[in-house]
């Protein structure tokens, strides 16, 4: 098992700066989510902003991914590729996942946003996914275990009649975009790492309206629900401190 890297307070401060760039990029994209805009236009807006902050889009070129954002609409769960052909429509929901590299460290966060008016069931899906992340963050306490985070998400999501995606999980983050430990949104049977001050976790519930089953499209990236029902995704990068959770990417909800 690869070692979990603990960050110093100075490193966490740089990661907070990186994540604040992410939060501001997401806020900018959110403002521009309107009917008729293409997902590539949103991507270009975010990339321009990120580079103006002297940061680099973390996803662009990552294992060959072509975009600065992952833009996933309706039944798309994560890793949607930005496209000039794909335009947002009234009633869609769109999940925006954004990462940056800044001063050698990564930031990563995600939001799900409605396009205009959406139906009540889909509103509930977004609300429950966002709330499950908040409940997960409350478990980021020194001495707790990763499984406490997983339990908080799974119990809340399933109590509300939705399902959590199992094939994709949250992760540690630092000088690499993905570091140990994995942060599943469901309870696994194996031993779970203990949370210690200096750990930084990208916690990201992916919640489906229907079953948990997903598949990857032929583009090799876009993950969709098997039953074509909508999915929502929220993510924060959170540091474990002696005084509880420190949400480095706070501000994405503004």
Quick: pLDDT tens for 88-138.
Answer: 999 999 999 999 999 999 999 999 999 999 999 999 999 999 999 999 999
> What is the spatial distance between Cα 106 and Cα 179, in angstroms, rounded to a whole number?
11
pLDDT at 1: 55
For the chain, the average pLDDT equals 97
Condensed to tens digits (0 to 9), the pLDDT of residues 197-250 reads 999 999 999 999 999 999 999 999 999 999 999 999 999 999 999 999 999 999
CATH of the domain at 231: 3.90.230.10
- 42 inside domain: yes
pLDDT at 249: 98
- 254 inside domain: no
What is the mean predicted confidence (pLDDT) over 143-157?
98
> What is the spatial distance between Cα 123 and Cα 163, in angstroms, rounded to a whole number?
15
**Residues in binding site:** 79, 97, 108, 171, 178, 204, 235
Given a cut of 80, is residue 252 above it in pLDDT?
A: no
Confidence of residue 253 (pLDDT cuts 50, 70, 90): low
Given a cut of 90, is residue 43 above it in pLDDT?
A: yes
DSSP-derived pairing of the beta strands 206-208 and 214-216: unpaired
- 135 inside domain: yes
> Nearest-CA neighbor of 79 among 41, 39, 107?
39
Q: With beta carbons less than 8 A apart as the criterion, state whether 27 and 254 touch.
A: yes
- 1 inside domain: no
**Residues in binding site for substrate:** 79, 178
Q: What is the four-CA torsion angle of 74, 44, 33, 55, rounded to 10 degrees?
A: 100
For residue 145, what are the CA distances in angstroms to 3, 136, 244, 251? Answer: 15, 11, 13, 26
**Residues in binding site for a divalent metal cation:** 97, 108, 171, 204, 235
> Nearest-CA neighbor of 148 among 33, 237, 245?
245
Structure pTM?
0.97
- 252 inside domain: no
- 209 inside domain: yes
> What is the spatial distance between Cα 22 and Cα 16, in angstroms, rounded to a whole number?
10
Query: In what side-by-side order are the strands of the sheet with 214-216?
Result: 76-78, 223-225, 214-216
- 2 inside domain: no
- 47 inside domain: yes
What is the mean predicted confidence (pLDDT) over 16-24?
98
pLDDT at 2: 75
Q: How many domains does the chain have?
A: 1
The residue segments making up the domain with residue 173 are 9-247
């Amino acid at each position: 098992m690869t070692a979990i890297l603990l960050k110093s307070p100075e490193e966490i401060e740089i990661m907070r700066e990186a994540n604040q760039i992410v939060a501001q990029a997401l806020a900018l994209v959110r403002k521009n989510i309107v009917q008729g805009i293409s997902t590539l236009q949103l991507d270009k807006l975010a990339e321009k902003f990120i580079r103006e902050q002297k940061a680099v889009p973390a996803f662009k070129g990552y294992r060959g991914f072509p975009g600065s954002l992952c833009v996933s609409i309706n039944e798309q769960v994560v890793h949607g590729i930005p496209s000039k052909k794909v335009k947002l429509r009234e009633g869609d929901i769109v999940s925006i996942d954004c990462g940056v590299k800044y001063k050698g460290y990564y930031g990563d966060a995600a939001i799900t946003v409605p396009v205009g008016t959406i139906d009540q069931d889909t509103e509930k899906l977004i609300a429950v996914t966002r709330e499950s992340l908040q409940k997960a963050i409350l478990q980021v306490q020194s001495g707790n275990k990763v499984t406490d985070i997983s339990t908080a998400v799974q119990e809340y999501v399933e109590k509300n009649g939705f399902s959590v995606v199992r094939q994709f999980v949250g992760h540690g983050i630092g000088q690499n975009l993905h570091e140990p430990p994995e942060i599943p949104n469901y309870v696994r049977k194996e031993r779970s790492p203990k949370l210690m001050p200096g750990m930084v976790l990208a916690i990201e519930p992916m919640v489906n309206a229907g079953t948990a089953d997903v598949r990857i499209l032929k583009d090799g990236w876009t993950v969709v629900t098997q039953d074509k029902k909508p999915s929502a995704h929220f993510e924060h990068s959170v540091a474990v401190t002696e005084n509880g959770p420190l949400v480095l990417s706070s501000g994405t909800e503004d």
